[in-house]
Amino acid sequence: MTVVSPRRTAKPKLPKCPDCAGKGEITETVRVGARKGRATGDKQAALCLTCWGTGDAPTD
Ligand SMILES: [Zn+2]
């Protein structure tokens, strides 16, 4: 029976960031106006502030 051991460099399995689903970035609606009250039809990619782009759920 052969067991394939994981590489040492392999990252430990971490839960995905709930905000970006592990992608590291989010898509937000572009808002315009002084109070940012009017949403446009445009979307823009933004760095996920929960995981800072790593895609991993913060541990603490
Ligand atoms: Zn995230």
pLDDT score of 10? 67
Map tokens 């970006």 to a residue.
Answer: 20
pTM over the 0.85 mark: no
Burial zone of 29 (CB within 10 Å; 0-12 exposed, 13-18 middle, 19+ buried): exposed
Handedness of CA 21, 23, 25, 28 (dihedral sign): negative
Written as tens digits, the pLDDT of the chain (60 aa) is 777 776 777 666 779 999 999 999 998 888 888 887 777 888 888 999 999 999 999 887
Distance from Cα 13 to the centre of ligand 1, integer Å:
15
The DSSP secondary structure of the chain, one letter per residue, reads ----PPPTTSPPP-PBPTTTTTSSEEEEEEEESTTS-EEEEEEEEEE-TTTTTS-BPP--
Distance from Cα 58 to the centre of ligand 1, integer Å:
8
pLDDT score of 34? 80
Distance from Cα 16 to the centre of ligand 1, integer Å:
8
